[in-house]
Structure formats: structure tokens, C-alpha cells
């Protein structure tokens, strides 16, 4: 405990010095191409397809509406079983046309349930309930407002913000880190957001800081983001925000990863299996902060986000503000359409994003970037060769794993060994996969492996529970049996103890016998 307290104290110095993390890659940023024009709004499409599944998991929201029903902008149309996940809201006003299965953006590549809305074009808002006097509001009220607004982490993991903040606040947080280090190539939605809506980001920082009870907030941005630093500092000076700082960090992939960013800012590591709050820290994406400001100050639920549309496969790369449910094809159209040699469509960045089978899939909360890549970008798939143990993967691994060992264990089905070698500490950044001269699909292996380890742990837990239940039942039955035995024995003892009762029994038995004989004799005569 003492060591942890020490670490928490050291973490207070976050941002004073820039530290390093192990490995990583210096990739070509390719961000400028999508930062040349200001943010644009995607025109309201003829149909919105709002998925009831907007994150990598599988727990679906339940639809709260019926086909034919009219909805207002911002009205809840889906609620999750797990209440912390909050709601899915109608991105615009209109009529529910259908609730149907269709293409969605999901790593599994499968179809999913979508609420189809035909917009009326009026954009009529539902009654908004902002948090009054937010700079002095009770943290619980702020959290409840965020939960109702369906606020989730917009950096990619889409974990419910209120849950994360509440947990961190309970553990004690001294510093809020706003993550503006979007280190994956091409993605520039956070950069554009900070450039154009710096005031909102700073308001969000203050809201989140208040909600978690932190003393200070750091906005971490990358050194290649140009004007962003000045814009933020100017906005800071203009606002009455105190204890909010801007820190520039060197751009090395994957420093936007929560654990890597913490290491860069503090020189400390989040304990394995632990959370940033173990160091008194909370990390939130800058986009989440802006959405928190919308939710708390204006009462607007999360119904849209900034999406980078980029890559050599699209004619005019740029950043768009898109309502959730807008088909990706509409975003591409807004960017001038595809180039002729487009080959692959990716949701997310080129390192960690997943390829989409169709652009009919709609924008979701996790959609930070739509990447259209050409044949030249992705190269011809190289044949997989055996591992030559060159160790490049270990050199670049930011989690300091030995990917070649993990691959060996995973490909042999040694899941327990892989877990012991740190498989669950893999952050799925793809650096190892990127540098592998043998073109082994390491990232696929590790994503699959982590799923396997989790599944096995769940199965083990279920088996343990079943065994416990079985053992408890056996014990209970044995106890009942024993009780009955004891009772019978006690009764016997009781009876044998009294001779009088014995005599009575003998008499009764005698009577019974006679009666039986008499009856059976009569029976025989018949």
C-alpha cells in the first residue's frame, strides 16, 4: 500500500516532464490531408439507421419505440439492459419506419438491429434538461446527466463515461488527463475538434474534473498538431478555467493508448490488471469532454460526432460532423466519392481499425475515422512465413511483451501459458504485426487469444459455480438424510425406553394380526 501511495504522489507531477514508453513506431502521420478544410456537417440523409449495438461488445439496447411512431430529436429510442450504458437517442426528429436487421459497423462483421428513422427535416428537439449552474453542480448530478445523455468514451473504446468517472472518483483521482494524442495515422477528428471547438473541450475538461473530483486537468496533444496548442491556450486564457494545462507530447504510435499516455506524462505504469485510478489518474478523450459539455451545459444527448474521412481512396478527405445512423456512403459522397482504385474501407485507423464489408453501415459512437485505402496503400497480401525469431516484435511492443512467444503459445492452443506470459496486457496496437518480416497475423492471433482466455475464464467460473452448487446440494441432501436418520433413531430410542408403550405396541400388533386373520379368512370364503 505504501508503494502505491508513493506512486499516486509521483503521478501528481504528471506533465512536468515528458517520459518514454517502450517500443512504439514512428509512422507517417498522413493527417494534414484531412485538416485542410474546416469541419463540415453531413446534410440530413433521407434515412437514418441507428444501430442498437454501437460498441464492440454484444449487449444490445432494447428498442423503446414502435414502427410508425413519431420521435423528436434527442428522444431515447433504445435502452440498455445494463443501465450504466445509458440510452440510444433519436439523432433527428421524424418517424420510425422500421426496426430491422441490416449492416452495422462491428468487428465481427455481422448484421445487427437498427432503428430506421425517416427524418421530417424539422430537427425538432425533445425537451432538453441541462444541469443548471454546472460549475457548482453536485458531481452526482453531473454523472446522472452524462448517463442520461448516453455519453461514452469517443476515443474508440466507447466505455460508458459515467461508469468510468464514478469508479475513478470513488477510488480518488487528483489529475484528469484529456487525451488529445490521436496517434494513429490519418485520424484527425480530435485535432479538428480542438481547433474549432476549443472552448467546448475546455468546458468539458472542467465538467469532468468536477465530476471526478480532480484538482487539475491536463490536455495532452501531439507535437505535430501545429496551431492546436495556441488555439487551446488562447481559449484557456479567455475562459475562467483554473488548473487546466496543455502539454505537448512527441508523436510516437501508440502513445494515444491510455496506458502509454500515462507513462509518457508520469513515467509510471498502470499496474497490470489495474486502472489509471490506481495512480490517482483518469483519462478521457477530448471528444468525450466536448460531448460532456454539450450534455451538461445544453442538455443535448450524444447523437453526433466528428468523423475523419480520409485515405487515398477518397477524393476530398476532410472531417465531418455526422449524426449517428448516417450511412457511411453518405459521408463518402460528401467527400467527393471514391477514387477509382479504392480497395478497402476501414472503420478506425490503419493500425487497429477493422475493415467494413459495405459502406451501407451507419456511423456509430465508436466511428472516429472512415478510411478508404487503395491497392497501393495496402499492398498485395504477403504469404505468411515461419517466425525467424528476429525479435523486432518485442522491440516495438509498448506493453513489453514477447509477441513471438505469445504467438507460439497461441498457435499451439496453450492459452494458460499465453495468459501467464502477459497476453491480457496486450493493447492490440498492431506494432508487432506491422514490423513482422514473416507477415504473421499477430494482431488477429492476439485478439482471438484474448477472447479465448476470457471465454475460458468465464467457463471456468461457470464450472466452479456449478461445482459449488452441486457440492452444496450434496451437502444439503446428506444433512437432510442424516437429520431423518437421527430423528428416527431418537424416536426408536424414545419408544424402546418406555416399557409401557412397548406393551401397548405389542397389544396393538396382536390386535392388528387378529383382525387381519379374520379379514383374510372372510376373504377366502368368498
Partner 1 sequence: MKPLPPSREFDTSGAPHFSPDVTVQRVMRDVLLALTPGIAACAWYFGPGVLVQIILAILFALGFEALMLRARGQPLRLYLPDLSAVVTAILFALCLPPLAPWWIALTGMLFAIVIAKHLFGGLGHNVFNPAMVGYVVCLVSFPREMTAWLPPVSLADASIGIGETLRAIFTGAAPGGLGWDAVTQATPLDTLKTGVDHGQTVSEIRSAPIFGDFGGLGWEWIANWFALGGLWLMWRRVISWHVPVATLGSVIALGLVAYVVDPGSSPSPLQHVFSGALVLGAFFIATDPVTGCTSTIGRLWFGAGVGVITLAIRRWGGYPDGVAFAVLIMNMAAPLIDRFTRPRVYGEQVGRND
| 180, 286 Cβ separation under 8 angstroms | yes
Using CB under 8 A, which of the segments 192-200, 268-276, 410-418, 508-516 binds partner 1?
A: 268-276
CA distance 162 to 140: 9
**Of the residues 173, 177, 281, 394, which one makes contact with partner 1 according to CB under 8 A:** 394
**Contact in structure between 402 and 361 (CB atoms under 8 Å):** no
Provide the minimum distance between the beta carbon of 388 and partner 1 in the complex, in angstroms, as a whole number: 5
Which is nearest to 251 in space by CA: 335, 181, 325, 158?
A: 181
What cell does 86 get?
445509458
Q: Cell triple for residue 395?
A: 522491440
CB-nearer residue toward partner 1: 178 or 372: 372
Q: What phi and psi, each to the nearest 5 degrees, are found at residue 444?
A: -60, -45
DSSP string for 385-410? -------HHHHH-TT---HHHHHHHH
Determine if 201 is a binding residue for partner 1 (CB under 8 A).
no
Q: Given the complex with partner 1, which of 143 and 268 has the nearer CB atom?
A: 268
Residue among 272, 411, 482, 498 that touches partner 1 (CB under 8 A): 272
Find the shortest distance in angstroms from Cβ 321 to partner 1.
15
Binding segment for partner 1 among 130-138, 142-150, 339-347, 515-523 (CB under 8 A)? Answer: 339-347
Residues 119-138 that bind partner 1 (CB under 8 A): 119, 121
Per CB under 8 A, the list member of 330, 369, 410, 418 interacting with partner 1 is: 330
The residue among 194 and 322 lying less far from partner 1, judged by its C-beta, is 322
Which one of the spans 133-141, 290-298, 357-365, 474-482 is the region binding partner 1 (CB under 8 A)? 357-365
Task: Dig out the grid coordinates for 153 from the structure.
Answer: 468514451
Q: Does 380 bind partner 1 (CB under 8 A)?
A: no
CB contact at 8 A, 52 and 63: yes
CB 158 within 8 A of CB 266: no
Task: Scan residues 397-426 and list those touching partner 1 (CB under 8 A).
Answer: 398-402, 404-405, 421-422, 425
User: Whose Cβ is closer to partner 1: residue 104's or residue 291's?
Assistant: 104
Residue 360 binds partner 1, judged by CB under 8 A: yes
Instruction: Dihedral sign for Cα 112, 113, 118, 119, please.
Output: negative
Q: The cell 377366502 sits on which residue?
A: 524
Angle ∠(77,355,380) on CA atoms, nearest 5: 170
- Minimum distance from CB of 416 to partner 1 (Å)? 16
DSSP reduced 3-state for 144:
helix
- Which residue, 21 or 415, is less far from partner 1 as judged by CB? 21
Considering only residues 20, 315, 389, 481, which one is a binding residue for partner 1 as defined by CB under 8 A?
389
Binding to partner 1 in span 426-485, by CB under 8 A: 430, 433-439, 441, 443-444
Window 17-76: residues binding partner 1 (CB under 8 A): 21-22, 43-47
Cβ proximity to partner 1, 3 vs 525, nearer residue: 3
User: 61 with 80: CB under 8 angstroms?
Assistant: yes
Strand 304-310 and strand 369-374: the pairing is parallel
Q: Least distance to partner 1 from the beta carbon of 344, Å?
A: 6
3-state secondary structure of 500: helix
The closest alpha carbon to 263, from 243, 248, 279, 245, belongs to 279
Are the beta carbons of 275 and 11 closer than 8 angstroms?
A: no
Q: Which of 177, 178, 293, 356 binds partner 1 (CB under 8 A)?
A: 356
Q: Which is nearer to partner 1, 43 or 172 (CB)?
A: 43
Contact between 180 and partner 1 (CB under 8 A)? no
Amino acid at each position: 500500500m505504501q508503494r502505491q501511495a508513493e506512486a499516486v504522489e509521483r503521478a501528481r507531477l504528471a506533465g512536468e516532464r515528458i517520459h518514454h514508453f517502450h517500443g512504439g513506431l514512428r509512422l507517417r502521420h498522413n493527417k494534414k490531408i484531412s485538416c485542410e478544410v474546416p469541419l463540415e456537417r453531413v446534410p440530413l440523409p433521407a434515412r437514418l439507421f441507428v444501430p442498437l449495438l454501437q460498441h464492440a461488445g454484444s449487449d444490445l439496447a432494447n428498442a423503446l419505440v414502435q414502427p410508425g411512431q413519431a420521435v423528436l430529436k434527442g428522444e431515447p429510442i433504445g435502452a440498455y439492459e445494463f443501465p450504466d450504458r445509458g440510452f440510444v437517442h433519436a439523432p433527428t426528429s421524424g418517424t420510425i419506419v422500421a426496426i430491422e436487421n441490416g449492416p452495422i459497423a462491428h468487428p465481427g462483421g455481422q448484421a445487427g438491429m437498427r432503428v430506421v428513422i425517416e427524418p421530417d427535416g424539422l430537427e425538432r428537439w425533445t425537451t432538453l434538461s441541462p444541469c443548471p449552474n454546472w460549475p457548482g453542480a453536485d458531481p452526482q448530478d453531473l454523472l446522472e446527466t452524462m448517463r442520461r445523455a448516453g455519453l461514452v468514451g469517443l476515443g474508440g473504446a466507447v466505455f460508458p463515461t459515467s461508469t468510468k468517472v464514478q469508479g475513478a472518483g470513488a477510488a480518488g483521482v487528483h489529475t484528469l488527463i484529456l487525451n488529445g494524442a490521436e496517434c494513429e495515422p490519418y485520424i484527425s477528428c480530435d485535432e479538428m475538434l480542438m481547433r474549432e471547438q476549443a472552448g467546448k473541450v475546455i468546458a468539458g475538461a472542467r465538467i469532468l474534473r468536477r465530476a471526478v473530483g480532480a484538482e487539475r486537468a491536463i490536455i495532452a496533444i501531439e507535437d505535430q498538431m501545429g496551431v492546436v496548442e495556441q488555439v487551446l491556450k488562447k481559449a484557456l486564457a479567455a475562459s475562467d478555467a483554473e488548473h487546466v494545462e496543455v502539454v505537448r507530447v512527441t508523436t510516437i504510435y501508440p502513445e494515444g493508448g491510455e496506458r502509454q499516455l500515462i507513462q509518457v506524462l508520469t513515467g509510471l505504469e498502470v499496474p497490470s490488471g489495474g486502472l489509471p485510478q490506481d495512480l490517482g489518474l483518469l483519462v478521457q478523450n477530448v471528444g468525450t469532454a466536448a460531448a460532456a459539455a454539450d450534455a451538461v451545459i445544453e442538455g443535448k444527448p450524444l447523437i453526433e460526432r466528428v468523423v475523419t474521412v480520409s485515405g487515398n481512396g477518397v477524393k476530398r478527405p476532410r472531417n465531418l460532423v455526422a449524426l449517428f445512423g448516417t450511412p457511411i456512403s453518405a459521408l463518402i459522397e460528401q467527400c467527393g466519392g471514391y477514387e477509382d482504385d479504392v480497395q478497402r474501407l476501414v472503420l478506425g485507423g490503419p493500425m487497429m481499425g477493422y475493415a467494413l464489408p459495405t459502406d451501407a453501415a451507419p456511423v456509430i459512437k465508436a466511428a472516429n475515422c472512415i478510411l478508404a485505402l487503395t491497392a497501393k496503400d495496402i499492398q498485395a497480401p504477403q504469404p505468411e512465413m515461419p517466425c525467424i525469431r528476429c525479435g523486432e516484435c518485442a522491440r516495438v511492443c509498448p506493453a513489453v511483451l514477447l509477441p513471438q512467444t505469445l504467438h507460439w503459445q497461441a498457435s499451439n492452443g496453450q492459452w494458460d501459458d499465453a495468459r501467464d506470459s502477459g497476453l491480457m496486457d496486450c493493447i492490440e496496437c498492431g506494432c508487432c504485426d506491422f514490423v513482422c518480416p514473416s507477415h504473421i497475423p499477430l494482431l488477429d492471433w492476439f485478439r482471438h487469444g484474448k477472447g479465448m482466455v476470457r471465454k475460458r475464464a468465464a467457463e471456468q467460473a461457470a464450472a466452479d459455480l456449478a461445482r459449488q452448487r452441486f457440492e452444496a446440494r450434496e451437502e444439503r441432501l446428506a444433512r437432510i438424510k442424516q437429520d431423518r436418520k437421527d430423528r428416527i433413531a431418537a424416536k426408536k430410542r424414545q419408544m424402546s425406553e418406555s416399557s409401557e408403550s412397548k406393551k401397548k405396541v405389542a397389544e396393538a400388533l396382536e390386535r392388528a394380526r387378529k383382525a387381519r386373520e379374520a379379514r383374510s379368512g372372510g376373504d377366502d370364503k368368498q
